[in-house]
Amino acid sequence: MSTIALGVASIRPAAWVRAVLVASALLATDRATLAQTPVMPAPTTTPDPVGAKPPEWEFSASVFGYFVPDDRDYAQPSFTADRGWLHIEARYNYEDQDTGSAWFGCNFAGGKAVWWELTPMVGAVFGNTVGMAPGYRGAIGWWKLEFASEGEYVLDAGDSSDSFFYNWSELAVAPVDWLRIGMATQRTRAYQSERDIQRGFLVGASFKRVDATLYVFNPDDARPTVVVAVGVDF
């Protein structure tokens, strides 16, 4: 017993105190270090979806063949290019024969059961007729019905009295996916007509990306105006 007591008593109290103080200081330092360590916040931005791609270009080309009684027959080609909101278009023989036009517009669309599309545009007209033209393209549809229209107001640079509003409109129903029938109207100065607004019917068919449509305007005339249109999307 005396040996054990002597061994314990031989350790000086000052050494115990110093050991406790050193351990307490180290523990306090570790806690302070942990408290000061910054916590990285969670990312606030959402990464782009895997495989997301920018909108691609979509192109279309069409030719309308006009067979006009007592006037010159002619072709009216058009070309469009779309990428997202951007719409670019070129026309020939549309506002006037031997006249071209170039267009820039913005695409808008929406709806589900009832869908709609609208493209306000501005164009430059050059050739037999020279000027500027604000215009539009638009369509609205429900079920198997669709109404489409395009128009422009040509501001003639040579003679303001020759400024004119052009319009082409269609109302059609598609009883099956590849067939559509309906009515069409147009107001044009590309050729002479006794009627300010010409009315008629249309019958169209589609196969894959190709559309073909027959229009007959003024069917009650002895010699109606016939238009044959072919278009392709690519």
- Name the token pair of 79: 């070309």
pTM of this structure: 0.76
pLDDT in tens, 161-187: 999 999 999 999 999 999 999 999 999
Three-class secondary structure of residue 105 per DSSP: strand
Q: Where are the domains of the chain?
A: 2-36, 58-233
pLDDT band with cut points at 50, 70 and 90 for residue 55: confident
pLDDT in tens, 137-149: 999 999 999 999 9
Helix (H) or strand (E) holding 38: none
Average pLDDT over residues 151-161: 95
Residue 150, pLDDT above cutoff 90:
yes
Q: Which residues pair with 75 in a beta bridge?
A: 65
Q: Which CATH number is 58-233's, of 3.40.50.720, 2.40.160.40, 2.30.110.10, 3.40.1280.10?
A: 2.40.160.40
Mean of pLDDT over the chain:
85
Residue 119, pLDDT above cutoff 90:
yes
Please state, in angstroms and as integers, the Cα–Cα distance from residue 205 to each residue in 62, 110, 198, 229, following that order: 14, 26, 23, 11
Give the span between the Cα atoms of 131 and 123, in whole angstroms.
9
pLDDT in tens, 15-28: 444 544 444 554 44
Amino acid identity for residue 185 in this structure: T
- Name the token pair of 159: 């003679």
Query: What pLDDT shows up at residue 228?
Result: 98
Of 220, 170, 175, whose CA–CA distance to 194 is shortest?
220
